[in-house]
Chain A
Amino acid sequence: MRTSRLRTVIVYIGFALFLIWVLFPLYFTVLSSFMTPSEIGVKPFHWWPENPTLANYIAIFTGDSAPFSTGQDGGIVSSTDAVARLVPAIGRSLLVGVAVVASNLVIAGAAGYAFSRYEFRGSTVAYLLLLASRVVPAIAVVLPFFVAFRHLGLLNTSLALIISYNAFTLPLAIWLLKTYFDSVPRELEEAAKVDGASRLRCLLMIVTPIARPGLIAAGLLVFLEAWSEFFYSLVLTNGLTVPPVVAGLQNLQQFSWTTLAAATMFTVVPPVLIALAFQRYIVAGLAAGSVK
């Protein structure tokens, strides 16, 4: 069949282009992280490192900020301890991300379920208001956040970030979960109620297990937003999480791109692994949200 052969050719060309689009920038970053600054600037370009080096990674683990300095005159004194802070920052980023996901799913799950099942006076307005809050530019409202956390004594703590990230990720999560709940048939809940189960019990015991793909998709969305956040982490804490620490390295004079690339890997690999781990739920979880 000619059309099917044509289809095959088109699909594989598309696949190749897709691979280039997704992988090329990342491959360059990975490649750079195993090269010396002098090799990365070589023309013609080396598509594979001639002498692969781990110096960039070692620099990050040891806190040596100038891995390619010649060391004369005693070498450069470390101009930053960002590198030394990177590993703890990854831990804190994970902690903040997980805590945001957990609290967010409870809050957004409850709200999304309410908007899907139990209309109350003003619920449509409330729902639209929640969604609309997504257009508030975060940098314009950082000051009230700061004041609130100062009074609560939460400055420079993970909790400040957990609360703020919830405020900004709830709208999308509520939207996603409401549409997911909309797609879950009501028969089971109704049947359970006839048998005397309370509304809360229905939600916890019946709806939640069925809604697992939706919860996972929303959770991942929230996690990635939280992991990605930069400005609030910088202002409300002294840069407790990963993005400000790594972005801060860019301005340092003795940091070459190769070391920066290695640092970038530390911010990219953990969320990628987590996303991949939950990958099979994502499409199913988003499916309901996408047809309503």
Chain B
Amino acid sequence: MSTLVNDSIPNVTISAHNLSRRFGNHIAVRRVDLELKRGEVLGLLGPNGAGKSTTMQMLTGNLAPTSGSVQICGIDLLKNPRKAKRYIGYLPENPPLYKELTVDEYLRFAARLHNVDLSRIDFVLTEVKQRCGLSDIGQRLISALSKGYQQRVGVAQAIIHQPEIIILDEPSVGLDPNQIREIRTLIRELGKSCSVILSTHILPEVESVCDRVQIMNQGVMVFSAALTELKQKGLSLERIFEQLTLKNANTGN
């Protein structure tokens, strides 16, 4: 497989080194290293306020890191943001929806914004709506949709330009059990062709869709392992999570 010749995109899609971010005196993220390979689904775990969202904001260029570097498919995100952002699809914690628009209008705008070829927009739109289960509600106003459907529109927006890297911040919040199952299937499917990072509080979600897991606590990356490795050693993710994050209580946080 001469991937180098066929594809200009290297196998490592995200590599972040020494990523730190402070807000005033408060250090939200401290010296985080993160690497993601193509076709890998990474689960980012951590209690509330651990710095997961901040890390994701830095990886997508929404927030400039205080120090450290981010390479997206070999392109420096800080030096060449516009080129690097082409490869990223991002669903923030609060789905960025224009509620006055219809689903179609909104997705069309998202596609244009991400430089999707004008001639391909209709095709891409139908496909992405089908993938996210939005086919029947293209004409509906986003404000009239339930939280679960709004979340799906958010996911659709993140994958409409077929990015190499998909970053989903708590994608299953507000969904009912059936929808959660659907979105997990979607994530697994996406994970075959691209890299996915998702943050979540739900441990079984990580176990069912992720290849690798990293746990953050108080801004520091405290654990990183492949899930198959955990299974081989017979370790329970829940146990590890508890052990690593319950220190919070002891340090008086």
Do the two shown chains form a genuine complex with each other? no
A interface with B by C-beta (< 8 Å): none
B interface with A by C-beta (< 8 Å): none
